[in-house]
Amino acid sequence: MIRDDAQYAEIVRLARSQEVPISVEPRDRINRLVPQGNHQGIVGLVTAKSYVDEDELLDQVTRQHSPAFVIVLDNVQDPQNLGAILRTADAAGIQGIFIPKHRSVGLTSGVARASAGAVEYMRVARASNTNRLVEKLQSAEVMTCALDPSADIPYTDVDFTGPTALVFGAEGQGIRPGVLKKCDYRASIPMLGRIDSLNLSVSVAIVLFEAMRQRRLADEPGDSSTLPG
């Protein structure tokens, strides 16, 4: 909702009685959620698919035969971006995606449409605290690599062949400083043009398919090629 006042008192009361989270957001955030509708200052978000438990997903990806390969999204707001990321993640063999429980777009119908059906196949968990999630991944010996435009290391110089969690930030703001500081590595996408940034879903696709290339090469029997590290 845009503001928490008497106009919405009954809705707030009902939501709290059912333990439905409430978030007060600026008008432009609400407008982005309902680009073609009359939201009257309040929007309800309903998931298009059930979430996986955070610890359950972490356990699943770290106990399977192949090295963990997951995405952590820090406060992504745009449904089109999340949908496109789900679609790309499915194509690249990502085993699961973690998104924040609060202040992040969820698995809405708009996200489902943008994913072109990938939402049905991708396991998504909501993390109560992204900083603690990064620590959990590291404790499970999963390397965490943050995509950061200011990083000196290009993404192609990072070894993604082992257990890997790729961390991406919100549109515009990027990864929050606290989360960024906790990650094992920071990598950037080198750019030669005058525009110094890419759409989030495009950035995710670039890095995911480099990681997939490395992992497939490492799996080839008898291949002794040197991978970036």
For residue 46, pLDDT over 70 is answered with no
CATH number at residue 156: 3.40.1280.10
Same domain assignment for residues 142 and 190: yes
Same domain assignment for residues 108 and 140: yes
- Of residues 27 and 132, more confidence is placed in 132
Judge whether 101 lies within some domain.
yes
Token pair of 97 as six digits: 């995606």
| CA–CA distance, 168 with 85 (Å, rounded to integer) | 11
Q: How many residues does the chain have?
A: 229
Same domain assignment for residues 19 and 66: no
Please tell me what DSSP assigns to residue 184.
S
Q: Model confidence at 17, in pLDDT bands (50, 70, 90)?
A: confident
For residue 152, pLDDT over 90 is answered with yes
Q: Model confidence at 225, in pLDDT bands (50, 70, 90)?
A: very low
Same domain assignment for residues 105 and 171: yes
Same domain assignment for residues 137 and 203: yes
* Segment 90-104, tens digit of pLDDT: 999 999 999 998 888
Judge whether 7 lies within some domain.
yes
* Domain ranges, residue 17: 1-44
What's the N-to-C CA distance of the chain in angstroms?
A: 46
Whether 157 contacts 86, CB under 8 Å = no
| CA–CA distance, 216 with 79 (Å, rounded to integer) | 30
Same domain assignment for residues 111 and 185: yes
Please give the pLDDT value at position 183.
Answer: 97
Q: Model confidence at 190, in pLDDT bands (50, 70, 90)?
A: very high
Same domain assignment for residues 117 and 64: yes
Q: How far is CA 167 from CA 13, 56, 71, 132, 187, in A?
A: 36, 19, 6, 13, 10
Judge whether 155 lies within some domain.
yes
| pTM across the whole model | 0.77
At 133, give phi and psi (nearest 5°). Answer: -60, -45
- Of residues 123 and 33, more confidence is placed in 123
Judge whether 225 lies within some domain.
no
Domain count, the chain: 2
Same domain assignment for residues 166 and 203: yes
Please give the pLDDT value at position 3.
Answer: 63
Mean pLDDT, the chain, rounded, equals 88
Same domain assignment for residues 87 and 21: no
For residue 154, pLDDT over 80 is answered with yes
